[in-house]
Amino acid sequence: MQKRGQFYLIAALVIVGIATALATIYARAGFERENTRVYDLSGEIDYESSQVFDRAAVHGEGLNTIEGNITEIANYYVSTNPGVDLLVLFGNETRLVALVYNATGIGETCINFGGRRACADTTGTIARRYTFDRTRRDEVLSISVDGTNYRIALVPGKPFLAVFKKEEGDERFVAISEDEFVHSRGREDDDHP
């Protein structure tokens, strides 16, 4: 009688093990991994650019030198991440530089900076550079990327950096330094100052 009980106990444990293994395999097959590469990429770009900004502050370098260094960093990340769209915005309270690297197209990008609104359809662009000089003293930079609005606080004497990356179909990944990010909004036509 005891051997029969042991047999049923072992059979039950085997069945439970098989059921658990199948449930685990099913759960893994249905789980879609979130793309964290953009956060790693933006973190790296943020770190590298902060080094560039710190060096510029210590050595008294201007925005032209900063622009050359940030462009070099962005070129490197685009070359090591093929097949992605990348929009890098940086500058200070008087000038904004936008670097656009596209594999498939980010869409329409509009920037409100110092009372001037400029839009460009960045679809199909390989690499472009846009420069905006500020004519008005705004405290917030408004950026509209393919209909979604973002606002970044402008602090006098402090450069800023924002990275927008698009990959995997229609998903957009955005990385902006938290101390600079004011808020974002969905598609609204009346949100343009």
Q: Per residue in 172-186, pLDDT tens? A: 666 655 445 444 444
Can you give the pLDDT at residue 133? Answer: 74
In the chain, what percentage of residues exceed pLDDT 70? 49
Which domain range does residue 147 map to? 37-191
* Per-residue pLDDT at 179: 47
Amino acid 141: pLDDT: 73
41 assigned to some structural domain: yes
Residue identified by tokens 């009346």 is 190
Residue 72 confidence (pLDDT): 84
Nearest to 80 by CA among 113, 32, 48: 48
What average pLDDT does the structure give for the chain?
Answer: 69
Q: Is the pTM of this model over 0.85?
A: no
**Does 7 reside within a domain?**
no
Kindly state whether residue 23 falls inside one of the protein's structural domains.
no
Evaluate whether residue 25 is within a structural domain: no
* Domains: count for the chain: 1
Judging by DSSP bridges, how do beta strands 140-145 and 148-153 pair with one another? antiparallel
Question: Helix (H) and strand (E) counts for the chain?
Answer: 3, 10
28 found inside a domain: no
Q: Do the beta carbons of residue 184 and residue 152 sit within 8 Å? A: no
Name residue, tokens 């990275």: 163
Distance CA 160, CA 45 (A): 12
For residue 105, being part of any structural domain is answered with yes
32 falls within a domain: no
Per-residue pLDDT tens digits for 50-103:
788 888 888 888 878 888 888 888 777 777 776 667 777 777 767 778 777 775
Q: What is the largest CA-CA distance in the chain?
A: 93
Q: Write out the two tokens for 62.
A: 């201007």
Q: Is residue 53 part of a domain?
A: yes
